[in-house]
Amino acid sequence: MIKDLELDKHGFKYLPRDPSSFTPSMVDGPLKGKYLLLGGDEEKNWKSIAQFSEKDADAFPKYEKFLDGCRELIQPLLDGAPPNPFEGKRHEKMRTASRLYELVGYNISLSLSLSLSLSLSLSLHITTQHNTTTLTPC
């Protein structure tokens, strides 16, 4: 869309977010205002995560690599028309169906296990460090 509308000719500039994520805790809560700040610096990310869990900090690059793979898989879908496996010539239908199958099947178990692992680890850390009630996933 940026290219199609020639937005750069009208002053458009892409500004990357860095840091890209800020997750604060309650100042009067069990974490006493600690926060998670993530951006483009791997060392700073590790330190930010490690204040809660060094194990999670060590696993974070693997999680980032997984997200990169997801982005590579999803980006073409976001840049083009919605896929319709019922339109086009036979080879187009097959390519679309194959891409949809790949999208649906792409390491769903890895995604769930990494997300659950990071969430549970933080929950367990909060529980063991602050004698709070055990958090259970939804």
Per residue in 45-88, pLDDT (tens digit) is 999 999 999 999 999 999 998 888 888 877 877 777 776 777 78
Tokens matching residue 74: 């999803």
Conformational region of residue 137, where left means phi above 0, alpha means psi within -120 to 50, and beta covers everything else: beta
> CA-to-CA distance for 16 and 76, rounded, in angstroms?
20
Instruction: Indicate the number of domains in the chain.
Output: 1
Domain contains 64: yes
DSSP string for 90-136: HHHHHHHHHHHHHHHHTTHHHHHHHHHHHHHHHHHHHHHHHTPPPP-
Domain contains 118: yes
Q: What is the pTM of this model?
A: 0.56
At 111 the pLDDT is: 55
Domain contains 28: yes
Domain contains 3: no
Domain contains 51: yes
The parent domain of residue 62 ranges over 16-130
Domain contains 9: no
